[in-house]
Every structure is written in C-alpha cells, then in structure tokens.
Amino acid sequence: MIRGDVSTRARDHFDWPLFIAAALIAVLGVVNLYSATSVYAGGARAELYISQIYWLVLGGILGGIIVAIDYRHLERLGYVLYTFGVFSLILVFVFAKDVRGSVRWINFGAFSYQPSEFMKVFLVIALAKFLHDDPRNEGRTLKDLLVPALLTFVPALLILKQPDLGTATILTLVFLTISALTRLRWKSVLVFVSTVACAAPIVWTYVLLDYQRDRITVFLRPEDDLLRRGWHAHHSRVAIGNGGLFGNGFMKGTQNQFLFIPDQYTDFPFPVYAEEWGFAGTVLLIALYGFLCVWAIRIASLAKDRFGAVLGVGCCAILFWHALINIGMACGVMPVVGVTLPLFSYGGSSVTTMLIAVALLMNVSMRRYSVGPAPERL
C-alpha cells in the first residue's frame, strides 16, 4: 500500500513545465526536418521525418519506463551501465562500418545503434554514483578527482579514436561541469588550468587529426577557404542573416532550398530554422533551451539526495553543451564539430539519448516529494 501511495504521489507531481518545453522543441524539430528535407527530388524525404517521429515515440515510451522506476535504483547499476557503455564502444571497432571516414554505428539489420550517444548518460550515472559514495563536503584536490577523470577519459579516448571529436568534447565538458559541484580547491584549479595550457600543443600536434585541425584553423580565419573547408560555417551564417526579423517563411529559405547548407538535418538544422523563422523564431527556440537548462538546475538544487543532484546537473550539462556548441558553430562563434541540436536534429540515437536525459530529470523532479529511505533493490 505504501508503494502504491508513493507512485500516486509521483504521478501527482508530474513536471509539466519540463515536459512541455521538451515537447515543443521536439515538435519544432520535426517541422524543421520536413522543411530541411523538402529540397530533395519528389519533395520531403518521408523516411527521415517520419523516422524521427517514430524515434520520438519510442524514446518517449522508454522515457516513461525510466520515469516509472525510482532513479535511486540506477545508483546501484551505475558502474554496470558504464561498463556496458565502454564495452559497446569497443565493439564499434569490431562490427561498425566506415561511414564518411568514421566508425560510429553498430548495425542490427535495419536498426543502427550509436554507442557514443548513450555513453553520455552512462557517464553521468557513473559520476553521480561516485560522488554519492564519496559524500565529502570539504574542498577536493585533483587527486580526489582522479577516478572521475579516468571514468571520463577512457570512453572519451575510444570515441576520439572513431574519430568523433564532438562527442569526446561533450563527455569532457560534462565531467568538468559535474566537477564544479565538488568544491575544487582554487590551488587545484590553477594547477589544472596550467596543465591544460601546457598539454594543448601536444594535443594539437599528436592527438587531433588533420581535418580536425583544419576546422579550428578555418574558425580562426574563416575567409581563407570559403569554397571548401569554410563552406559549412559561411553558408550557415548567410542563412541566419537572410532570416532577418521574421524570416522568409516555412520552406522558403533560399540557402536550404538551393542546397547551400550541408548536413542541414543533422549538424546544421539551426540555420534552416533561422532563415525561415528569423530572429523572432530563433529567440523562441533559444528561450526554450534556456528554460530547459534553468529548470534542470532547479530540479538538481531541489533533489533530495546527492545522487539525484549530480544526475540532474549531468543531464543539464548534456543538453546545455549540445545546444550551445551546435548553435555556436552555426553562428560562427565556435569551430564546426559533429554535435547535434538536442531533440531537434535528426538521428535515432541522439533523440533517444536526449529523451532519456529529460526522463531522468523528470524522475528526479517527481521523487523529490517522496519520503523515507531508498527503495528496495530490484
């Protein structure tokens, strides 16, 4: 009877603002995807935007299952899920096929699975478990963060090997965001910053590939090679500028219609949207992302335990850094990397991962009203 009462209270505290913000972004994403694919012969590619709807439905069902199970069960499975994620990243090099110079997807018939996307959530859960098991309140040193750093850099290096600089960067930024919760001592912060500065030339020379260095070089000097390496960023900025105040109208963006914007439904959906809906539309979309992130921080601050708080901050970091980097590279203020726009870009693994992150936030939000000890083991 007590378990039923808890479930009823959880349903009564369903986080509607979180749900509505995520749903609006997803709906705008499907509408934008229809327009972004309308330039192909025969009109919009139904297999893409309908597939996106299917993924949203399947991801929503999976999210509903996650919401129904108390998030504190995940604390016990944290390292198990992390190990599964790392094992999946290793399997990529065994079973994945080369697609445009990268090996990222494992195919099961018509179904494709991108382990690096789900690794983001697995890493957040693992880091949350570590901090939950080590609930010290005094300032930490870099030595105290050695284990979380190893948890982060093992999958990050495997993903960088694929190669996928964007996802590896997201994992690193998620780790740094969560580390900000640990009250790191200022002396340790200075040591860390100095170490990163000294390591930067080594990473530039021996870690980054030629095309990755080219992207950074083009970002610093965008006018040097507009017809080749700088094509993406240049026409993305042109599309955003063409949008003006209220945009050109749905399916009337010239940069998209004449195929000047590459990857317009994966990495560059934002300029398509900005050209069609203008400054007013982009303000709405960015406001939705802003609200989603601020609301996620609120959920984390109200969580009833450390595990829930770190889980909330980690999921917020995934959404925030994805949105910031994708919109930043579309606007030309960040280098071009393969980072999708959350719940907006096309991609089954990406959409599912973001819906899982939203579901975990919903779970933490709903369970903050519950009382009593942690639930029994599954």
CA gap 64, 19 in Å, rounded: 11
Distance of CA 57 to CAs 52, 53, 151, 255, 361, Å? 9, 6, 32, 31, 18
Rounded to an integer, the average pLDDT of 297-316 is 94
pLDDT tens sequence across 5-52: 545 555 678 999 999 999 999 999 999 999 888 766 444 455 788 889
Task: Return the pLDDT at 88.
Answer: 93
Instruction: Tell me how many degrees the CA angle 317-298-327 measures, rounded to the nearest 5.
Output: 35
If pLDDT is split at 50, 70 and 90, which confidence band does 263 have? confident
If pLDDT is split at 50, 70 and 90, which confidence band does 320 have? very high
3-state secondary structure of 226: coil
| pLDDT greater at residue 261 or residue 149 | 149
CA gap 343, 355 in Å, rounded: 8
3-state secondary structure of 212: helix
96 CB-near residues (< 8 Å, 6+ apart): 103, 104, 105, 106, 107
Task: Return the pLDDT at 274.
Answer: 95
CA gap 317, 204 in Å, rounded: 25
Task: Return the pLDDT at 255.
Answer: 87
Task: Return the pLDDT at 378.
Answer: 31
pLDDT surpassing 80 at residue 290: yes
If pLDDT is split at 50, 70 and 90, which confidence band does 273 have? very high
55-64, 139-148, 363-372: the lowest-pLDDT one: 363-372
Rg (CA), the chain: 21
* Strand stretches in 49-141, DSSP E: 106-108, 111-113
pLDDT tens sequence across 120-136: 999 999 999 999 888 66
Task: Return the pLDDT at 40.
Answer: 61
| pLDDT greater at residue 211 or residue 201 | 201
CA gap 267, 248 in Å, rounded: 21
Of 239, 241, 242, 220, nearest in space to 229 by CA: 220
